[in-house]
Structure formats: structure tokens, C-alpha cells
């Protein structure tokens, strides 16, 4: 069974199925209606790089090395200049799937290191079309080059130079390029009857937000909504392609996000975390609870809903399981195999750990969440207008100083109080 | 064509279809999947009585008399002692439907006056099972009697005395009684082949919140969620009953709320307004934007979504239209006929007016909303712990003093900023 993982940066509240008020994601909503909605699904860190490392290794960032000790509770930010990356000692999902004859492709943002030794084709992927980092820029090319776009080993060009992004109009056809890559790869694999792992981890809706011309101005939500609509359309086309090629029943597909919506970029460039508190960079629900949908026609009963506590790291173990492989036994794996949940409706008891950098900020067990540390961002940042929780303020919770509660954790019941407003 | 209106006090964020994170309303979600979801549907006032008067008259509270001049921007609260009620000069929906041979029944909370001259059977209803007001109490019977429950003209008993509500356990079987009333009425009408108007306007989930024993402890959300689940179950049973009797294609059903979730009662007794600002009593979206679903198998295409700006007052005009009647021409009617929207997908240009008492606080036109006045509640109330916007604070918007902006209205784009956090 092949696996496809859609990994975006969209908030819980960005999908119609999860309550976005303008309901402009008909394809994702349809995917949910045909598949299973995970309501309690989490990323492993509220920032892109550590989350993506966790997904591909099945391990928490504190184990796979994607954390930093540059500051307490500081998430591992990976600008172009960073010299580190995914260690060779880590076993990535595509490396393992190769043993079962899979062809592995990454489309989009790698984020696990810029230098040659970290290249995705050195870590199990057979093909790559995308960039090592976000499409920040444009840069003037002297102090900092623009982010390159790779086709496999070779640089195909650079953002803004060869892959245009018009920051004034918000127009860029990148999502269309990434869609076409996915369709072509799937066709090729179907023709060769080889199982595959497709990791569609594209840049949109990360700021600076863009959409193709045909989607500009089509949503009620502005440019961000246009980008969401283009992703939604792409997901729909990819799923339809699987069906038309007759391989949808042999392809397990999962949609989720690497962190909550970046409220610092809202409302023009940032999304919505629905009823949850705060966003990206924080360990409140808005930073780490993600929209999540499993789709596998003929196997997953349509319209299912699961309360299983899930994690992006589970996609590692689940994809291995689908390939008939065992996870490595020489190291701690934090992901679990979700197939019993998805196929038999089981609920597996497991906690969720909320890390910020290498600090364990909070733990969820069942419906209870204990915060050992609370912090939104510093007064210094906040005074500059950087706000991780715009419009939200819960006394003693969304603190601008790092508050330790390890002796008496701040406890919330996420069923009665999903917004983390009423400490018990 | 018969009409059924479910009028609850549930927030936008209380239904799975609208993004409640535990998704425990399978029947309402199914109703939405089979019918049409209204995403921009409003009540006429953020408090029960004026909203209900508006629904039944098709007119704004400032026209039908359900406002007060006791204080600026004060909603018309109707305690037991109130001597006023719906004026005889108002024409109520059931009065008009009688002319087309309808039998009209109200189940639940009337709220348009306690005194005999305001009795629902004097205003067009043929049958009533329910109470003139909320189930507040218990009272000791000396200074204030407990709220009576009527069967038609006669008092059937009183809350807490004859109709038990256990405030300690939260157990009460009232929703089951109201469900049975609805099923029996529908059976009777089907047998007599008479068209009907059923107004199922029950007390739950208004505080004090209750649920029947079989629903207690069944939700992730505590007692409030249990009550929501019981309502959801009841709606499902009523719709199924219509289908089993073979009259679903002749019965137009609408589900909505009379005001946003009462956040003052949260988290134990209050619901969720999802991503919207504040709640009941306020003219922010959380106070007045309501979950809304139209259902009419064989007529409404399944899975539809409408961006029509709608109002509870439209149920007046729409129900008349279904009965082949014209709205009265001797007075201003604020509701519009939604059938072209529902059946032909049309969008009708109309504004939404947000009143608090008799003060026009805000107006929505298209995706823009202009606030002429902003206010949450007074510092005096707030200092006593009464909070209409818990966990939310938008500078200059959720003000605790009444702020006038009539010269330069505070403008929001509800597409890009449904949470009213970023004034333009």
C-alpha cells in the first residue's frame, strides 16, 4: 500500500470541516466525509523544521536533534545560514520504505538542513522537487542568496528569480507546479506498478502568502483564503487522480499541518486556529492541534470521526505498518501505528507532549492538559507588535514572562474548555 | 407545506458541522449534510425575548415593541414580574398561517409575556406545551413562584415542583417530554392530513443546564455537552419521524438559535461561539451570528452552503411563502423570503442590523461590518466577574465603557477577520 502525506501549514480553523466560517474547502471537506476526521491530532513542535523532522523520524525533536539550546523554550528556527541538519544517525521514513521497494518523493519544503549532506536524496528520497526552506525574500543576492528550488540533485532555479512570486499582487504559480509534480509522479508509479511514498509538503500557506492567478480574489478571506482554496483544489485533484487511475484503494492518504496557523501574520497572511488559544510558536492548542484527515477508500469507513490522541510522528509508524515493516528497534520511536484506530475504531492510550525547543511545556493525557510552563512571547517582542495570541488574553496563561508551574501544573479540561480559558 | 422551526440557545461553535472540536452532534451534522448550511445567519437581538418576538413577527424588536428604554443599549430582559408582552397589534406568524388552514403548536419557551392577554393561544397558536419563561429557580414560592408549565390554557404544573430539575446532578427529563410532544403532534397532523407549523423552542441549553439521565456523562464537554447531545438526538428523532411518516418532502424544517452562547455561564453551563468574538448580550458576532440549517428533502439539494445574509425574521416570511401567503402590507416587515436562496441558490442583497435594546450598535453589508457603538459590559459588572468575552480582549473593541463611533464607525471585514480583531 502506497502512502501520501499532505503536510501544510494550515490552522485547525482553516478548513470548512473544522469550522472555518466561509467554508471554502469543498475538496478537503469531501475528503473528510469520505474518510476519517481526527479531532485530537497534534504536531510535535509548534514550528516547521522540528515538526517535519519528527514526522519523518517518528521521534520527538529532543531525540532527533531538531531542538536548540540557544535560549530557554526557543523553537529550533532554521534560517538559510544554519549549518546543522538531520543527523546521519537518524533513520528517516523513506530510507526504511526503500527496503519494501517503495519509490519516495518529496514535493515542496524539506526544512531539515541546507547543506549537501542533509539533501533529501541522501536520506531516502528518490526524487525531490522543491526547496530546502521557505520562500522568504526576495534577497538582493549579495549578502543572502534567494532560496533555491531543486529538482533532485540539481538546482532548478531560485525563488523570485526563476520561480516568480509577486509580493505586490500575491501571484505565484508554485502550487500549480507542485500539483503537476504530484500528478505526474503518481501516474509514473501507477504505470510501473511500484508502491510509493509521496510527501507533498509545499510552501503555501506560509507567509509570504501567494496563489495562482486563477485563485486570486476567489475567497471571502483574501489572499490567505485564496491560497487555501488553491491547496484545497490541488488535494481534490490528487485524490481524484488516484481514483481515476484505479489505485485509491491501494493508497493511504493523510492530510495535516506542521504547526498551527501563524497568527502573527493575521489577518492578511495568517490563518485561523478556530476556537483554540494562540497559534504557531506556542504550546497552547492553537499552536499544536492540527486539522487531520485520513482517507483510504474501501478501507476507512466514510464519515468517521476519531478522538484518538494522534501525532505527526504516527505517520512514520503507520506508513511503515502499511508497508509491512517494523519500526527500528534500536532507538526510541514516539509515533504509534494508527491502523487499529483507523480500521477498527480502537482508542490507544498515549500522552501528547508539547515541547517548545527542548523544554517540555505541557502534557495531555485523555482530556486533561497540564501546563508546566506558560509563555506566549516576551514583553520585548510583544512591545514591537509581535503577538502570538491576537485578541486573546487569559490571565496567568498567555503570559509574557516564562512562568514555571512544575510544582503545581496549570490544569485544563480540553473537553469542557478547548480554548484553555478556565484553569481548574 | 408544513413548517418546523427548531429554536435553541446554542452557539455557532456548538455544532460539529460548525467546528465544535468534539463533534458530538451527528444528527445535526447529518441534517446539514442533507440540507443547506447558512453561514451568515443572524438573530435580531442578542437576548431571548426580543429574538423570539422578531422571529414570530418578522419585525425588528424596535418595531414589535420588544425593547426597553430603561438604559442605553439595554436588551429587553423579561423576568417573571414583567407586565408587558407582545402587543395585540402585532400579527404573529401562527395567526397568519391559520388563514391557510395550518394547525400551530409551540413546544417550549414562549417568552413574549406572562399575563393572560399574552398567552400564545391568544396569538395564533392552537396548542402549547411549555413555559412562559426560562426554568430559573427554584424559588421558595412565597416571594416568587416557580415558573409554570402550560398545556394549552391550563397550568400543568411548575418547574422544580411538578417538572423536576435536579440542579445538583443536572438531571431533568424535560427535553424528552418536549420531544414526545413533537412526535405526537406530527403524528396527529399526518393522520389528519393538515398542514402545521411546529415551533420547537425548548429551554435547553439555557442555564441552569440539564439533560436526561440517559445523556448525563455522555459527552466530552460535561453537562452542557450532554444537553447538546440530547437536543441533537431529539432533532434526529423528529426528522426521522417525518421521514417515516412520509411527510418529510412536505415539511420545511429550519434549525437555529435565539442568541449566541452565553459565555457568562461557561465553561460549565455555557457553550461556544467558535471563532467569533464575545457572546450573548453583545452585538459582536459571537452574540448574534447563529448556527442555521435548512432541511427539506427532495427540494433542497443535499450538502448546500449559503452565504446569504439571513435573519430569524426571515423564517416569518419564508413560512408564509411556503403556505402561499403574502406578508402583511400594512406594516414594515424586516424578514425576507429565503425560498429563492434555498431552492435556486440566489443571493439577496440586504443588510443585517445589530441592536442592543433600541440602540443600533452595528450594521453588516456584504462582508463589511460597521460598529457605531462598542460595548461588552460595564466595569461595574465586569468587576463582579460577569464577563461577556472571557479570554478575549480587543483594544478599543471589547470596551467596558459605551464607546460611540457614529462619526467614524469601526469597520471590520468579516471574511478576512471573522473574529473582529483587526479594525480597518
The residues with which A368 forms a beta bridge, in sequence order, are: A365, A413
pLDDT tens for B380-410 read: 999 999 999 999 999 999 999 999 999 999 9
Confidence band (pLDDT; 50, 70, 90) for B338?
very high
CA A401 to chain centre: 28
Q: With H, G, I as helix, E, B as strand and everything else as coil, classify residue B115.
A: coil
Q: What is the CATH number of the domain that holds A175?
A: 3.40.720.10
pLDDT mean over A4-27:
95
Name residue, grid cell 433600541: B358
**Amino acid B81: pLDDT:** 85
Q: Are A147 and A138 in contact (CB under 8 A)?
A: no
What pLDDT sits at residue A78?
85
What pLDDT score does B376 carry?
97
Q: How confident is the model at residue B352 (pLDDT cuts 50, 70, 90)?
A: very high
A232, containing H or E segment: helix A223-244
**Catalytic (active site) residue B48:** yes
Where does the pLDDT of residue B140 fall: very low under 50, low under 70, confident under 90, or very high at 90 and above?
Answer: confident
Domain assignment present for residue A367? The answer is no
| 8 Å CB contact between B183 and B176 | no
The mean pLDDT of chain B is 96
pLDDT tier at A141 (50, 70, 90 boundaries)?
A: confident
Residue B411 lies in a domain: no
From B62, B127, B56, B51, select the one nearest B91 (Cα to Cα): B56
Which pLDDT band holds residue A79 (cuts at 50, 70, 90)?
A: confident
Judge: B21–A422 Cβ closer than 8 Å, yes or no. Answer: no
pLDDT in tens, B160-173: 999 999 999 999 99
Please tell me the predicted confidence (pLDDT) of residue A114: 93
Distance CA A290, CA A338 (A): 16
Candidate from A39, A222, A393 with C-beta closest to B391: A393
**Is position B407 within any domain?**
no
Residue B77 confidence class, pLDDT cut points 50, 70, 90:
confident
In total, the C-beta contacts within 8 angstroms joining chain A to chain B are 120
How far is A98 from chain B, CA to nearest CA, in Å? 37
- Tell me if A50 sits within 8 A of A42, measured CB to CB: no
In a domain, B373, yes or no: no
Q: Confidence band (pLDDT; 50, 70, 90) for A31?
A: very high
- Whether B117 is in a domain gets the answer yes
Distance from CA of B19 to the nearest CA of A (A): 4
- A21 contacts in chain B (CB < 8 Å): 12, 39, 274-276, 414, 418
- Pairwise CB contact (< 8 Å): B421 & A267: yes
Cα separation, B187 vs B373, in Å, equals 48
Q: Is A302 exposed, middle or buried (CB count within 10 Å of its CB: 0-12, 13-18, 19+)?
A: exposed
pLDDT at residue B401 in the model: 96
pLDDT at B323 over 90: yes
Contact B392 A393 (CB under 8 A): yes
Per-residue pLDDT averaged across A397-414, rounded?
97
pLDDT of residue A319: 98
Domain assignment present for residue B41? The answer is yes
In angstroms, the CA A46 to CA A263 distance is 12
A20, A21, A225, A306, best to mutate vs chain B, most B CBs in 10 Å: A21
CA distance B314 to B58: 6
Q: Give pLDDT, residue A81.
A: 85
| Shortest distance, CA B414 to any CA of chain A (angstroms) | 8
Q: Is A277 on the interface with B (CB under 8 A)?
A: yes
% of chain A at pLDDT higher than 70: 100
Predicted pLDDT at B37 = 96
| Contacting residues of A for B414, CB less than 8 Å apart | 21
Q: Note the pTM of the prediction, 2 decimals.
A: 0.96
Q: How many domains does chain A have?
A: 1
**Enclosing domain of residue A227:** 2-347
Between chains, do B275 and A275 touch, taking CB under 8 Å as contact? yes
- Per-residue confidence band for A308, with pLDDT thresholds at 50, 70 and 90: very high
Q: A364 lies in a domain?
A: no
| pLDDT per position as a tens digit, A253-277 | 999 999 999 999 888 899 999 999 9
ipTM reported for the complex, 2 dp: 0.94
Whether B264 maps to a domain, the answer reads: yes
**Each residue's pLDDT tens digit, A101-115:** 999 999 999 999 999
Q: How far is B21 from chain A (nearest CA, A)?
A: 6
Residue with cell 480583531: B421
**CA nearest neighbour of B364 among B41, B12, B36, B19:** B41
Q: Give me the mean pLDDT over the A122-142 stretch.
A: 94
Q: Of A350, A360, A338, whose CA–CA distance to A63 is shortest?
A: A360
A33 touches chain B (CB under 8 A): yes
Q: Are B19 and A20 an interchain contact pair (Cβ–Cβ within 8 Å)?
A: yes
Q: Residue A252's beta-bridge partner residues?
A: A3
pLDDT digits (tens, 9 = 90+) for B237-287: 999 999 999 999 999 999 999 999 999 988 889 999 999 999 999 999 999
Is B78 a residue whose pLDDT tops 90?
no
pLDDT score for B163: 97
Whether the per-residue pLDDT at B141 is higher than 80: the answer is no
Asked if B267 lies within 8 A of A305 by C-beta distance, the reply is: no
Catalytic (active site) residue A48: yes
Amino acid at each position: 500500500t502506497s502512502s501520501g502525506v499532505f503536510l501544510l501549514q494550515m490552522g485547525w480553523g482553516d478548513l470548512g470541516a473544522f469550522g472555518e466560517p466561509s467554508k471554502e474547502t469543498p475538496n478537503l471537506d469531501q475528503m473528510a466525509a469520505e474518510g476519517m476526521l481526527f479531532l485530537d491530532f497534534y504536531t510535535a513542535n509548534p514550528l516547521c523544521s522540528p515538526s517535519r523532522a519528527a514526522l519523518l523520524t517518528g521521534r520527538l525533536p529532543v531525540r532527533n536533534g531538531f531542538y536548540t539550546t540557544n535560549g530557554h523554550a526557543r523553537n529550533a528556527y532554521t534560517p538559510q545560514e544554519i549549518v546543522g541538519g538531520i543527523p546521519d544517525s537518524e533513520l528517516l521514513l523513506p530510507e526504511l520504505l526503500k527496503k519494501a521497494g517503495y519509490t519516495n518523493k518529496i514535493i515542496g519544503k524539506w526544512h531539515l538542513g541546507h547543506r549537501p549532506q542533509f539533501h533529501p536524496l541522501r536520506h531516502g528520497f528518490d526524487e525531490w522537487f522543491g526547496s530546502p526552506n521557505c520562500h522568504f525574500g526576495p534577497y538582493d543576492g549579495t549578502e543572502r542568496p534567494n532560496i533555491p528550488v531543486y529538482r533532485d540533485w540539481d538546482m532548478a532555479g531560485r525563488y523570485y528569480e526563476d520561480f516568480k512570486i509577486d509580493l505586490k499582487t500575491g501571484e505565484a504559480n508554485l502550487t500549480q507546479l507542485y500539483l503537476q509534480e504530484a500528478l505526474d509522479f503518481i501516474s509514473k508509479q501507477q504505470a510501473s506498478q511500484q508502491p510509493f511514498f509521496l510527501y507533498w509538503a509545499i510552501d503555501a500557506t506560509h507567509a509570504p502568502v501567494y496563489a495562482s492567478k486563477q485563485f486570486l480574489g476567489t475567497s471571502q478571506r483574501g489572499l490567505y483564503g485564496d491560497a487555501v482554496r488553491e491547496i484545497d483544489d490541488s488535494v481534490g485533484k490528487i485524490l481524484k487522480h488516484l481514483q481515476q487511475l484505479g489505485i485509491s484503494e491501494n493508497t493511504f492518504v493523510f492530510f495535516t499541518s506542521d504547526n498551527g496557523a501563524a497568527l502573527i501574520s493575521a489577518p492578511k497572511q495568517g490563518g485561523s486556529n478556530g476556537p483554540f488559544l494562540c497559534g504557531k510558536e506556542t504550546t497552547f492548542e492553537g499552536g499544536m492541534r492540527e486539522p487531520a484527515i485520513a482517507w483510504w477508500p474501501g478501507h476507512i469507513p466514510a464519515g468517521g470521526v476519531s478522538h484518538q490522541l494522534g501525532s505527526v510522528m504516527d505517520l512514520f509508524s503507520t506508513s511503515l505498518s502499511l508497508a509491512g515493516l517494523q519500526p527500528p528497534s534500536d532507538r526510541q520511536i514516539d509515533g504509534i501505528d494508527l491502523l487499529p484506530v483507523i480500521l477498527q475504531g480502537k482508542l490507544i492510550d498515549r500522552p501528547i507532549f508539547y515541547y517548545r525547543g527542548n523544554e517540555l511545556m505541557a502534557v495531555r493525557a485523555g482530556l486533561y492538559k497540564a501546563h508546566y510552563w506558560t509563555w506566549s512571547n516576551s514583553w520585548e517582542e510583544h512591545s514591537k507588535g509581535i503577538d502570538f495570541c491576537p485578541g486573546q488574553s487569559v490571565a496567568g496563561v498567555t503570559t509574557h514572562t516564562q512562568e514555571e508551574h512544575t510544582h503545581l501544573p496549570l490544569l485544563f479540561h480540553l473537553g469542557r474548555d478547548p480554548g484553555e480559558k478556565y484553569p481548574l
